[in-house]
Structure 1
Amino acid sequence: MGALQPPEHSDEIKVSFPQDHVMLLTLNRPKALNAVSPTMKEAIERVLDWFDNETSLWVVIINGEGRIFCAGADLIAWNKRQGSQDADDGTEVIADKHGFAGISRRSTSGKPIIAAVHGGAYGGGTELVLNCDLVVASDDAVFALPEVKRGVVAIAGGMPRLARIAGHQLASEMLLLGKPIKASEAAGRFGFVNKVVPKSELLPSALAWAAEIVTNSPDSVQSTKRALLLTNQHAHVEDVVTAHVRSKESKRHFAGDNIKEGLRAFSERRKPAWTSPAKL
């Protein structure tokens, strides 16, 4: 893979490429506990939009610099906006198609997103985690949706996702009490964390998952993720199947070289040599 050049962005995020086909995006406001400012959100969206269109990148890992993963929204900045003419009445939430931090409602990409969470994910930090495909957490991590304690609401996609994953009563435990839960609970009772590891193994575990994903056909992976996203949008299986078959990712998969390579490699008893998918 040649040298990759992401778009210019604020230093409130860091971008690197630790493995072939893998991008690492690090939230980088450690003194503010990685609370997401408007500047950080814009930077994340710009880089992820570029990532979505860069065919040689197949997986992104999201992590945080410093003591915790993400403290959620920058409430000091929000307080200032609330007292101004720019106060949001909720219409901005609807218009913001990618949601909190450009991630919590992102559904345009068929590429896997892995969250590597340490320390804590609060408010919007948990909301963005709930929209990731795989979540690995350090054993010191905690998750919370404490918006009700601050007079606000977890409105950026976290509530319906948590309710679908955990069920009404467990979602209510986090949402109505504003109660923090440990990583072990998030992986056990609540079910939105895949794996809990010692902190020293957090990023290596996420990178190992990414490496495992890129051994698979990127066309197949991205078509599969599209099906998972469509499952959240349609109630009936037949509607999901129909929408998936008609999706750009599915059409590309059937028309692409990787399906031919995978079947040929199986017949020849060798490892397939995948190529980057065509740009959608």
Structure 2
Amino acid sequence: MTSLDHPRVSDQLSVSFPVEHVLQLTFNRPAALNAMTPTMEEDIKNVMNWFDEEPSLWVVIITGAGRAFCAGADLKAWNQRQSTGDRNEQEMLASSIHGFGSLSRRSKSPKPIIAAVNGSAYGGGVEMLLNCDIIIASEDAQFALPEVKRGVAAAQGVIPRIAKVAGHQLASELLLLGRTISATEAQTRFRFINQIVPAAKVLPTAVECAKQIVANSPDSVQCTKRGLVLSGQHGSFEQATVALAWSAEAKRLYNSENIREGLKAFSEKRKAAWGNPAKL
């Protein structure tokens, strides 16, 4: 696919387009296990904000270079902030609209996020994963929320998410013990991994998954994801259902060319030709 005119980024983030309608972001600090820096976070924020507004991009894949997905925050930089007296952590946390890596609390975009976990994910790396829609992990991947071992807390959105997915007791095991779990345990016991594949197949599997998503109507996909997000924000099924019915994504869907194309293609027994969705 021809490269789109995306925002300029540093060498800490690689931007590519593996197939049509798909953006790929690769954390590119392999020597530091892709630990998050302010520069990388700013890069991710700028590209993701652009992605959210780019009609021709329907799905994003997040992955890491080297043997890790993301080792979390750069603790050396964090220690330096603490040593210099810059300790306004609560204000930083509350004002971090999109969360860790500009991903862990990003909720307004209705576009699917696929994580291709090529190795270890710790701390903030797991926080980002729990806000992805589909997670593909390598057989040797490991996961941990070790913040309590470092005197900090996993406070960028993962606590309510892991509690909802795994239940209070299993979430407590990850969060309070800070222990490391395998990909198999993450899938079967804690229930936040979709698929486990050999390391060499992680990214190809994620790309194939993205291709299956973009084969569907982007209006339908984005309306459906909005429904998933709303289900986690409202206290009842009825509230979430009504909120979706009145959402901008639903209004766009039911007035789109794609809904007419999908129904017409079904009647004519042919493959639908989807167009880019209108901007919300």
TM-score range, shorter chain: over 0.9
* Pairwise CA distance, 1:3: 4.3
Instruction: Please say which of residues 137-146 and 236-245 is displaced more in the overlay.
Output: 236-245
Instruction: Please say which of residues 234-243 and 154-163 is displaced more in the overlay.
Output: 234-243
Structure 2 equivalent of residue 74 of structure 1: 74
Q: Which runs of 4+ in 1 moved over 3 A?
A: none
* Pairwise CA distance, 1:160: 0.7
* Pairwise CA distance, 1:82: 1.4
Q: Which runs of 5+ in 1 are unaligned?
A: none
What root-mean-square deviation, in Å, do the aligned CA atoms of Structure 1 and Structure 2 show? 1.0
**Could you say what secondary structure the match of 1:224 adopts?**
helix
* 1:24 alignment partner AA: Q
Structure 1 equivalent of residue 24 of structure 2: 24
Structure 2 equivalent of residue 210 of structure 1: 210
Alpha-carbon contact 1:82-1:88 (below 8 Å) kept = no
1:1-280 correspondence to structure 2 within 5 Å: 3-280=3-280
Q: What's the TM-score, normalizing by structure 2?
A: 0.98
**Could you say what secondary structure the match of 1:69 adopts?**
strand
Question: How many residue pairs align between the two structures?
Answer: 280
Q: Which runs of 5+ in 2 are unaligned?
A: none
**Could you say what secondary structure the match of 2:233 adopts?**
coil
Superimposed CA distance per residue, residues 92-124 of structure 1 (whole angstroms, 9 cap, x where no aligned partner): 211111000000000011000000002200000
* Pairwise CA distance, 1:84: 2.6
* 1:17 alignment partner AA: F
* Pairwise CA distance, 1:242: 1.4
Q: What's the TM-score, normalizing by structure 1?
A: 0.98
* 2:102 alignment partner AA: G
Alpha-carbon contact 1:163-1:171 (below 8 Å) kept = yes
Superimposed CA distance per residue, residues 211-263 of structure 1 (whole angstroms, 9 cap, x where no aligned partner): 00001000000000001001111011111111111111111101110011011
Overall identity of the aligned pairs, in %: 58
* Pairwise CA distance, 1:203: 0.5
How far apart, CA to CA, are the structure 1 residues paired with 2:191 and 2:97?
Answer: 25
